[in-house]
Amino acid sequence: MKKILILTLIAAVFLAACGNQPAPTPVAEQMVVSNEVVAEGRLQPVHGANLSFQAAGIVEQVLVKAGDSVKQGDVLVRLANAGQAQAQVVVAQNAYDTLLRNESGDRAGLWKAYMDAQIARGKAEKKWDDLNVTDIENRIEDDRATVEDRQQDLTDAQDKFDKYKDLDKDNAKRKNAKTNLDNAQDDFNQAVRDLEATIRKRDGVRAAYDASLAVEAEAKHQYEISLDGPNADQLTLAKANLEAAKDALSNFIIAAPFDGVVADVNVKAGEQVVPATRAVSVEDSSSWVVETTDVTELEVVKLSVGQKVNLIPDALPDVTLKGTVTEISNAYTQQGGDILYVVRIRVENPDPRLKWGMTVEATFVQ
């Protein structure tokens, strides 16, 4: 695929009229170097993103599957600990909406909300104080040990089944091994559910208490600022609080960054994830772009924005696509001894068989 130098050898041999004539003198070789630039590139959708969580947790819901169409802002996956952050967003949104709806502040209503928040906080605080956290944490450790035991049982059952899986389905040994494997899977799933339930007994009460503290603090704040009546500063602060709450929530959910199609889902409900775990890939393949990987400093000076390009995917050698240079990077990367620049090319006539990541040969029309 890479750079082609066309060598043309021009030789003329003149035959002597007789044996005594001098031997013919060969014409010197000439090297014709083509100005054509040929590069390799990778095919990308006009928008493509591999989305990851910003916080650790257990996946609570996977709301999409590969091939689903999504709109910008649609929630694709959420963690189990997103509930508290969601509550903060609701509180902040209500506070902001209250200021917008009622510029008089409605002090009486805000005072009542503050009193109700105090009562709710007191109840949540008592539940937390009454909770035997040490006992629950001991049970959590026991449940975790049980999960590990059931995982080992499941592994052993799988290994045993693998010995007989190729036998006839009515074979007694195979049937027994399959039954044991199914039972081991059920036991493991139940152990995981028991662990999650025990964790919720601690975290649920704490989360409710923390949420009640936040609600009380916000209710108090809203009442206090109503004493002087709302103003631009209060609206700005309420808006900032709302944006901060939304940012916090974004750590525990993955939302579509643009309209497109789900290319891949890499997580499932109940799975433990950590920050940077790729969860979902989304693409907008309404148009395609090729990014080159090997245009050198000697070649990039021959290229310009708007230049036409012929594109041949390695996977579709009988297909020639048309393209136009849309961007030439000013920054460089160094690979081996070469200085390389990225050139971006818009595909003008995409083929429905194109896939994200395909290798493409790009010939720049001079």
- Among candidates 191, 188, 189, 164, which has minimal Cα distance to 178? 164
Strand, helix or coil at 287?
strand
- According to DSSP, the β-strands at 308-313 and 359-364 are antiparallel
Spell out the domains of the chain, with CATH numbers in brackets.
37-47+283-364 (2.40.30.170), 50-75+254-281 (2.40.50.100), 104-229 (no CATH)
Kindly give the confidence (pLDDT) of every residue in the chain, 366 residues in length, as a single tens digit, with 9 standing for 90 and above.
444 333 333 333 333 444 455 555 555 445 445 678 999 999 999 888 899 888 888 888 899 999 899 999 899 998 887 777 778 878 888 888 877 766 554 677 788 888 999 999 999 899 888 888 899 999 999 999 999 999 999 999 999 999 988 888 889 989 999 999 999 999 999 999 999 999 998 888 889 889 999 999 999 988 887 776 556 677 778 888 888 877 777 777 888 999 999 999 999 998 888 887 789 999 988 889 999 999 999 999 999 999 999 999 999 999 999 999 999 999 999 998 899 999 999 999 999 999 999 999 999 988
End-to-end CA distance of the chain: 18
Q: What is the pTM of this model?
A: 0.45
Residue 359 burial by CB count (10 A; 0-12/13-18/19+): exposed, middle or buried?
A: middle
